[in-house]
Structure 1
């Protein structure tokens, strides 16, 4: 049902973007370009084969905005409601204990959940749009109508981690402007944390001891990955004349922080990605693959999945038979779900990279970056997207679609297919390593 729903939205978006009124020239868009753009918008990715600002008309850009809003709200709502659905698998006593401990979502409050998600999203976008509009109008002398339109467009795109921009060079013109870049970054992080985490933080931010395991892992890893990414990008690009080289010290740190946040599936860039050093591209691949928080607008395998496997590894290295996070024990089924998502995602990226290398003339670093960006629904590119052949565009469409709904539906399916055998086979250990 999820796959059909998102595919339906993509088909409608493709049809609307194929209309002559959707382009500035008044000509019909090629089917592959319309399909690619619609998929990128619904899956809140941000990869484009044509420039958003100069190619699409106002009608076309509004269609893209609506598709982004539908995709972002759809993912947040579906993922949050799946959390409610999966809690039905718990026993009554365990359910009461879990809800009392974590203040989690109520099974009978589905309508309230959807309403809070919509209100939270629209209010957040309105605040960000207001800040951006003020800056565009006052500091860059944009007419109020233009400033308002650009503010709303980038606010919706940022909060939904889409990365679409009306500027051909994304946000490179604002690399030294903390008002613009930090406002965009705040919107990206807020949308990428996930509604359950944000809602829990609003209620219990002064009492971290009461946070659920999901919130603890999400917050801790989000902060850690932002800090690590900032350091890596700043050091790697510090003297690079094509990226951070012309900037002063504080501006380089700002650009490094922005790059670290955007690789978490946002897709905006304030420097030329194609001019980055190989070590920066590799760091970006890792951050894009991990992604953001669950039940949010971010993509990737999610920080909770990555964090859970990190705790599994730590427990194995210490020789512990149980995986504990704080004062909670993680069930073995949860660990298997995380492992399955990571292995299937890595396999998908590997196969897609191999195919793209075979049908395009580009190097491994550029191709891998493009594949991970599409699968992680990030939207960053080294600049090769517009020059890819149609078959490569179709492959990226499939990757964006799989990367958007794959981890969510796979995790839910694995959790709901919990089947107990009535017998156990004799145990035999294999040689590992």
Structure 2
């Protein structure tokens, strides 16, 4: 028995060492695009297996493999489209989806990139120590002959700044997630209308608070409720809490990051030279979400202006429509603000998108298609920094990169035509739900990793409208995304679109 245990421990140690070596090799030698693609595929497959193994809370519901794979991909790519009723899932499956959204989020990947870059910078330290130990006898002569160069100082400062940024981003994520979950839980515990919704749906309050906070902060968009946040449309406080979390985890993260660094410098939580160097040398640090002062202020001003314009247009077009039925003026403005923010990133809806005015839906579609300003700024910085080493590095896997850098407009047009082919039978029998506009809206939402959807309604089924006396026509309302009504080939095509959309920022930087 001890011999078998020794063999088992040795084998486990060998597997762990091999895994660490493979991860380091992939991180340091493969291109960013291939690394992220492998990362998303591995996490996606593991999430799919976990969702299939775990049983749903509704014992009468037997989930299909295609739907579970679609849901896992939607969580990993932080898209938020769902082809099943979320309330049919068990608490353990909700935990898996929450973990998938966190692991696939831009925030976690940025933190992981900082850790890898910091370890890469420290990789040469042992060699430097060995060289200095060999020449220690002549160190005084070398110091007199060769003065210390500024490049050495800047390299050391950059290493310490990367370590400092790792700490800052980690603390930022922990504080936002912990504080956000606590505030959501306290709101639900003290507001009867929100508490009654979860009680009626038999959803655990603590699990809901954590899942909603992670979904908002990571811009995942998947909620434990079937109707997303539409059942909380009258709860202004909850919608505003989630709005702040969405902005803190996406478009305004560079602004909050600068505020945190400035606050840590004021509170003297780190050496003064590290925050000063980071604030004044953002390009040298190489963190995409760390922008110069001017660009950070421009980003904040432009985001506020864009949200304000969207709120005004949305209210003007839908103020007296069925979208805001039963809501007060303050609740209408809060819901308009919530939708304006979600149309950029998270995709959580507090209203029925199928009732929104067409002009507002077109605006949502443009906002979903347009990438975040942070990615635009980082792409500009990468273009300025490109040199011979950068060009040589991007030549690796050039054929794959060229395939991935297909024009997004051409790709989306091809996907829309392909979806129209796979769903041609539904288009002919249900032209109101399966309209070309709804298909385009769903594809753009998947490509932008947003998750807004017009859904599918039995009230728009043309056969029921023309022949209400026919009893053979059966339609059941299902509160999930429009893609949930698609055929299996159509869902698989949308899975590829979600993965492509999640990687679009990386292949643009490698092209």
| TM-score exceeds 0.5 | yes
Counterpart in the other structure of 1:313: none
* Equivalence for 1:368: 440
Shift of 1:378: 0.7
Asked if the contact 2:239–2:338 (Cα under 8 Å) also holds between the matched residues in 1, the reply is yes
User: Structure 2 residue aligned with 1:233, among 299, 314, 328?
Assistant: 314
Is 1:379 aligned with 2:451?
yes
Q: CA deviation at 1:123?
A: 1.3
Q: Which runs of 5+ in 1 are unaligned?
A: 100-104, 295-301, 309-327, 335-340, 415-433
Tell me the TM-score normalized by structure 2.
0.64
Does the alignment pair 1:201 with 2:256? no
Measure, in 2, the Cα distance between the counterparts of 1:247 and 1:27: 34
Partners of 2:51 and 2:68 within 8 A in 1: yes
| Matching of residues 235-384 of structure 1 within 5 Å | 235-241=316-322, 243-292=323-372, 294=374, 302=375, 304=377, 331=384, 344-360=407-423, 361=427, 362-383=434-455, 384=482
Q: 1:331 to 1:255 in 2, by over 3 A?
A: same
In the alignment, structure 1 residue 71 sits paired with structure 2 residue 101:
no
Contact 1:192 1:293 in 2 (8 A): no
Q: 1:406 and 2:504 equivalent?
A: yes
- Normalising by structure 1, report the TM-score: 0.75
Match of 2:14 in 1: none
**1:168-187 equivalences in 2 (<5 Å):** 168-187=226-245
- Measure, in 1, the Cα distance between the counterparts of 2:112 and 2:407: 21
Q: Is the 8 A contact 2:247 2:253 kept in 1?
A: no
Which of 1 and 2 has greater Rg? 2
Give the alignment partner of residue 129 of structure 1, picking from 177, 181, 185: 181
Structure 1 residue aligned with 2:430: none
How many residue pairs get matched?
370
Deviation, structure 1 residue 156: 0.8
Which of residues 305, 309, 314 is equivalent to 1:224?
305
Q: Cα offset for 1:149? A: 1.9
Contact 1:263–1:287, Cα closer than 8 Å, also in 2: yes
Higher helix share: 2
Distance in structure 1 (CA, Å) of the matches to 2:405 and 2:259:
27
CA 1:230–1:217: 2 relative to 1, 3 Å: same
CA 1:411–1:247 in structure 2 vs 1: closer, same or farther (change >3 Å)? same
Say whether residues 1:58 and 2:91 are aligned partners: yes
SS at 2:158 equivalent: coil
| 1:275 shift after superposition | 1.3
Contact 1:259–1:269 (Cα < 8 Å) also in 2:
yes
Distance change >3 Å, CA 93–CA 177, structure 1 → 2: farther
Provide the rounded CA distance (Å) in 1 between the counterparts of 2:153 and 2:499. Answer: 36
